[in-house]
Amino acid sequence: MKVKTQSKKVNKSWLNDHVNDPYVRLAQKEGYRARAAYKLKEIDETFDLLKPGMVVVDLGSSPGAWSQYVRRRMAQNGLASSELEATLIALDVLPMSPIDGVSFIQGDFREAGVMDLLKGLLQGRLADVVVSDMAPNLSGIASADAARMVQLVGLAVEFCRHHLEPAGTLVAKVFHGDGYNELVQLFKLNFKVVKPFKPKASRDKSSENFLIGCGLRER
């Protein structure tokens, strides 16, 4: 997610915050590709999200920090190199470096060819958990950015209507502001239980939030 700006002062301020961010340092120390891993870690620990044997699909997975976290969480002894006790599938339109034990599909999951690949990996199963860290490249125009975010989250919800277990869970990134209430209503229409959550790993200045939807409603 990128915000176009001509201000060198803003860029310098962001870089300074990034370099001094404790989660950035922790990610580097523990081998995660991005600090975002700790957001999913908090969500997992708060809502008891992930369990051995699950099928987990990571939408918008690149660069792979969430997939890395799930891989370690589902491995024996929590080691990235140990035997995996789950099925992990990641999708993104952007490339992603390989992660042992994670099947990656590059492409748009709205396309038939990509869905055929996904179905082949699922082997007739449905996902227990779908996680989505998808977000649009921000233009700075609030109404346009909100519309893009609503569209992306809507795609994740629709994906779950077809590929999530009835008792499954969706975790999706959203932003407070224009479109937020619309997304909450979308979740309430599709899930029996809806919980908003802002991890401590999310920056204080960020409007980023997450919606957790549990148990699909019948249509």
Q: Are strands 191-197 and 208-216 parallel, antiparallel or unpaired?
A: antiparallel
Q: Which two tokens stand for residue 58?
A: 């990571």
Q: Do the beta carbons of residue 83 and residue 76 sit within 8 Å?
A: yes
Choosing from 51, 173, 198, 200, which is the catalytic residue?
A: 173
Catalytic site residue 29?
no
Q: Do the beta carbons of residue 195 and residue 212 sit within 8 Å?
A: yes
* DSSP conformation class of 42: H
For the beta sheet containing 164-175, the strands, ordered from the edge strand earlier in sequence to the opposite edge, are 102-106, 87-92, 55-59, 127-132, 164-175, 208-216, 191-197
Beta strands (DSSP E) in 28-86 are 55-59
Active site residues: 173
